[in-house]
């Protein structure tokens, strides 16, 4: 049944759905997914799945259809990718097919701030919402412990090297790493938006109080270890990657790694349980894995390769979501995730809203927490048609990959039939299937047309074509992405960035590192205020970050903060717990 999301909050719908028995029992999960008893790891309402056992048993089973969800360039409010991911699962479920999916685990920062939990919304919602939103099975906590252990190891080593001679170090089985305190790559992590910790001084005190140095905090989901969890194929692969995480550089400019600190094994021990994905469900009972939650701007921004591998064996249709818009999330799904995993996607759903398209057509600035201007709540076909340029551009990006595009017009109650008809017509003229979907309002019943369009698209053969070959040098890759995905006229490299790029290109060690662009998600360009499809611009690259364990090179087309800030009206002001029942209210 569908509840009325215009009267009920998300947490209230989640509570009603749980009470109605929407969360499958362990036995029901086993029946729906074809799992055996020893392949389920009990954990309250949210069991984990032993992926190694499942993959070993089902290794010869053909994969199901693979559906990716991305979006047009969004407003700061987001356009409903998670809601649509859950909605298409529900719609396919209504059509009677075996369907499931994989979503990223939400971070405590956005959950307690202005963005919310990424559990979808309305009748396209993931449950149990409280467990999903507040730590789930502890994966993020394990990542924090493993990451911060590396920082403990580095600072302790710097303290001991400052206090002891080489002879004294040798007695303890140590050699001098000579870490440069002014060239530290790593910082601490915390899973809240704590801007006051972005830059700190640590080690204040005496010789026994740690090495005094400038340091920093980032948000936990921005940790390289989270990115490693997303791209690792198994525990062995993850363990090997932990050896190569760069914590800083020595005074000769050479990288110092977690392997050099001999902390990589202990980090893997902390994260041993994170390797198995967790099971949640939609409010209509479809299974959905939750696994990993990496940033989409500096990392891959996808749920894990592991969750998708298992999902493709367990479901006839498997849905996965990419972070941010198609110029970032889909590009990384296409050229990185699909390449690393060897999995062939069938369909990419491009989520579009009338609100965002009007913004791209020249509508007023959209500000979180403030009422929407009238242009967004009243019919304006001229503004909408001009803004469809952004949608058409991203349809063409998806088509370049060989993956079939399906536009989901994510309906808001303020939209008009004429506006929906206009967007649908333009999308179809651009070569995409298109459907209006009311999953937020009606759940699976509102996503039937979308489900039909997706199933129809899945019947067509896909000839996946990557944008660039792996042997292409870094600067040429960036040029390709900038011109063919973003629509830039070219790339301008700052001297420091070009120097680094040349060094990486000359070293065979970096030849197969993935290219992870760092760019604003609010525009096709690097400038967030440039809406629509900007013309006559060049992409400036100011630096290149390196993640040795994840094996990423990250060209930076703008500044990036790994620690968000908390707003003046954060969600935590409205979140509470009933002391008599233990039920949490206020999540959204």
pLDDT band at 297 (very low <50, low <70, confident <90, very high): confident
DSSP-derived pairing of the beta strands 539-541 and 491-493: parallel
| Residue 369 in this model has a pLDDT that exceeds 80 | no
One of 1.10.260.40, 3.30.1510.10, 2.40.160.60, 3.30.365.10 is the CATH number of 139-270, namely 3.30.1510.10
Query: What would the two tokens of residue 272 be?
Result: 């041993």
Q: What pLDDT, on a 0 to 100 scale, did the predictor assign at position 143?
A: 97
Which position among 440, 493, 504, 513 bears the catalytic label? 440
Taking the C-alpha atoms of residue 386 and residue 215, their distance in angstroms, rounded to an integer, is: 47
| pLDDT, average across residues 173-195 | 96
Tell me the pLDDT tens digit for each residue of 118-128: 899 999 999 99
Residue 84: band (very low, low, confident or very high) from pLDDT cuts 50, 70, 90: very high
Element (DSSP H or E) covering residue 356: helix 354-360
Q: How confident is the model at residue 474 (pLDDT cuts 50, 70, 90)?
A: very high
Catalytic: 378? no
Please provide residue 20's backbone torsions phi and psi, each rounded to the nearest 5 degrees: -80, 0
* CA 19, chain centre distance (Å): 30
For residue 559, what pLDDT is reported? 77
Joined together, the tokens standing for residue 27 give 């036995």
| Residue 79 labeled ligand binder | yes
What is the per-residue burial (b if ≥16 Cβ within 10 Å, else e) of 450-480? bbebbbebbeeebeeeebbeeebebbebbbb
Q: What would the mean pLDDT of 318-335 be, rounded to a whole number? A: 96
Q: Give bridge partners of residue 40 from the DSSP assignment.
A: 49
Q: What is the pLDDT of residue 390?
A: 98
Domain 474-556 matching CATH 3.10.410.10: the answer reads yes
Using CA atoms, how far residue 403 sits from 338, 465, 526, in Å, is 11, 9, 26
Residues in a beta bridge with 99: 317
Residue 116 has pLDDT above 90, yes or no: no
- Mention every residue, 6+ apart, whose C-beta is less than 8 A from residue 355: 75, 77, 79, 366, 372, 376, 412
Q: Is the pLDDT of residue 145 over 80?
A: yes
Residue 298 has pLDDT above 90, yes or no: no
pLDDT digits (tens, 9 = 90+) for 35-59: 999 999 999 999 999 999 999 999 9
Average pLDDT, the chain: 96
Query: For position 368, what pLDDT does the model report?
Result: 80
| 358 catalytic per annotation | no
The catalytic position among 46, 83, 117, 353 is: 83
Residue 440 designated active-site: yes
What are the backbone dihedrals phi and psi of residue 76, each rounded to the nearest 5 degrees, phi first?
-65, -10
Indicate if 81 belongs to the active site: yes
Mean pLDDT, range 260-274, rounded to an integer: 97
Catalytic residue among 192, 333, 412, 493: 412
320 marked as binding residue? no
Is 80 a known ligand-binding residue?
yes
355 catalytically annotated: no
pLDDT exceeds cutoff 90 at 308: yes
CATH class, 10-136+274-458 region: alpha beta
Q: What's the burial of 87, exposed, middle or buried (CB within 10 Å: 0-12/13-18/19+)?
A: buried
- Please indicate if the annotation marks 540 as binding a ligand: no
Catalytic residue among 11, 66, 324, 493: 324
pLDDT digits (tens, 9 = 90+) for 519-576: 999 999 999 999 999 999 999 999 999 999 999 999 999 777 889 999 999 999 999 9
Strand-pair partners of 120: 125
**Domain ranges in the chain?**
10-136+274-458, 139-270, 474-556
Task: Give the mean pLDDT of 273-279.
Answer: 96
Cα separation, 45 vs 128, whole angstroms:
7
pLDDT value for 118: 86
Burial, 241: exposed, middle or buried (Cβ in 10 Å; 0-12, 13-18, 19+)?
buried
The contacts of residue 500 (CB under 8 Å, 6+ apart) are 543, 544
How far, in Å, CA of 41 to CA of 30, rounded?
Answer: 11
C-alpha 78/C-alpha 71 separation (Å) is 9
Is position 78 annotated in a ligand binding site? yes
pLDDT of amino acid 85? 98
Would you state the pLDDT for residue 189? 97
Which ranges constitute the DSSP H helices of 401-492?
A: 417-429, 439-442, 448-457, 474-481
pLDDT per residue over 187-239, tens digit each? 999 999 999 999 999 999 988 899 999 999 999 999 999 999 999 999 999 99
Of 81, 94, 309, 358, the active-site residue reads 81
Is 525 annotated as a binding-site member?
no
Verify whether residue 412 is a known catalytic residue: yes
Region 135-148: mean pLDDT is 96
Per-residue model confidence (pLDDT) at position 560: 76
Q: So what's the pLDDT on residue 263? A: 98
CA distance 258 to 243: 6
| Cα–Cα separations (whole angstroms), residue 116 to 85, 372, 438 | 16, 19, 21
Residue 227 contacts residue 104 (beta carbons within 8 Å): no
Q: Is 324 a catalytic residue?
A: yes
Per-residue pLDDT at 207: 85
- The answer to whether 92 is a known ligand-binding residue is no
Tell me, what's the pLDDT at 115? 82
Q: Is 278 annotated as a binding residue?
A: no
Catalytic residue among 48, 65, 94, 104: 104
**Catalytic annotation, pick one of 14, 296, 411, 434:** 296
For residue 114, the model assigns a pLDDT of 85
Could you read off the pLDDT of 333-344 as tens digits, one per residue?
Answer: 999 999 999 999
> Is it the case that residue 1 has pLDDT exceeding 80?
no
Instruction: Round to whole Å and give the CA distance between 528 and 519.
Output: 9
The pLDDT score that the predictor gives to residue 292 is 95
- Which of the four pLDDT bands, split at 50, 70 and 90, describes residue 294? confident
493 in catalytic set: no
pLDDT value of residue 525: 97
């Amino acid at each position: 049944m569908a509840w009325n999301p215009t009267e009920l909050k998300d947490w209230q719908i989640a509570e009603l759905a749980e009470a109605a028995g929407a969360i499958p029992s362990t036995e029901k999960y086993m029946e729906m997914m074809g799992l055996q008893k020893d392949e389920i790891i009990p954990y309250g309402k949210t069991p984990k799945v032993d992926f190694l056992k499942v993959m070993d048993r089902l290794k010869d089973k053909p994969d199901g259809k693979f559906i990716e969800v991305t979006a047009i360039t969004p407003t700061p409010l987001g356009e409903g990718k998670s809601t649509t991911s859950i909605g298409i699962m529900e719609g396919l479920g209504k059509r009677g097919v075996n369907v499931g999916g994989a979503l990223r685990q939400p971070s405590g920062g956005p959950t307690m701030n202005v963005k919310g939990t990424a559990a979808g919304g309305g009748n396209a919602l993931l449950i149990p919402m409280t467990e999903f939103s507040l730590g789930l099975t502890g994966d993020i906590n394990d990542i924090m412990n493993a990451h911060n252990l590396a920082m403990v190891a580095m600072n302790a080593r710097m303290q001991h090297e400052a206090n002891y001679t080489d002879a004294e170090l040798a007695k303890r089985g140590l050699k001098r790493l000579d870490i440069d305190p002014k060239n530290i790559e790593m910082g601490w992590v915390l899973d809240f938006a704590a801007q006051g910790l972005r830059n700190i001084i640590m080690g204040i005190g005496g010789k026994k109080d740690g090495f005094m140095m400038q340091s920093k905090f980032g948000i936990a989901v921005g940790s390289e270890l989270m990115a490693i969890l997303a791209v690792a194929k198994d525990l062995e692969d993850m363990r090997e990657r932990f050896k190569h995480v760069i914590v800083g550089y020595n005074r000769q400019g050479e990288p110092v790694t977690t392997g050099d600190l001999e902390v990589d094994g202990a980090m893997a021990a902390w994260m041993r349980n994170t390797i198995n994905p967790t099971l949640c469900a939609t409010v209509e009972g479809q299974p959905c894995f939750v696994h990993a939650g990496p940033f989409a701007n500096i990392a891959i921004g996808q749920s894990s390769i592991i969750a998708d591998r298992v999902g493709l064996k367990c479901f006839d249709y498997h849905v996965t979501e990419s972070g941010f818009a198609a110029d970032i999330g889909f590009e990384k799904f296409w050229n990185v995730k699909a390449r690393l995993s060897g999995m062939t996607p069938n369909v990419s759903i491009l989520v579009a809203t009338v609100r965002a398209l009007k913004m791209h057509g020249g509508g007023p600035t959209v500000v979180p927490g403030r009422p929407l201007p009238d242009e967004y709540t009243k019919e304006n076909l001229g503004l909408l048609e001009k803004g469809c340029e952004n949608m058409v551009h991203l349809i063409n990006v998806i088509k370049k990959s060989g993956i079939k595009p399906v536009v989901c017009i994510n309906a808001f109650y303020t939209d008009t039939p004429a506006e929906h008809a206009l967007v649908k017509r333009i999308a179809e003229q651009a070569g995409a299937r298109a459907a209006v979907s009311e999953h937020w309002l009606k759940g699976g019943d509102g996503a039937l047309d979308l489900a039909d369009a997706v199933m129809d698209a899945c019947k067509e053969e896909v000839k996946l074509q990557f944008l660039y070959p792996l042997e292409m040098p870094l600067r040429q890759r960036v040029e390709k992405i900038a011109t063919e995905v973003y629509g830039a006229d070219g790339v301008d490299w700052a001297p420091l960035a070009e120097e680094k790029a040349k060094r990486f290109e000359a070293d065979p060690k970096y030849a197969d590192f993935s290219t992870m662009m760092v760019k604003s998600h609010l525009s096709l360009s690097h400038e967030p205020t440039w809406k629509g499809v900007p013309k006559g611009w060049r992409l400036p690259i100011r630096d290149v970050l390196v993640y040795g364990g994840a094996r990423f090179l990250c060209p930076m087309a703008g500044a990036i903060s790994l620690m968000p800030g908390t707003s003046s009206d954060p969600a935590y002001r409205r979140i509470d717990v009933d002391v008599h029942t233990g039920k949490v209210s206020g999540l959204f």
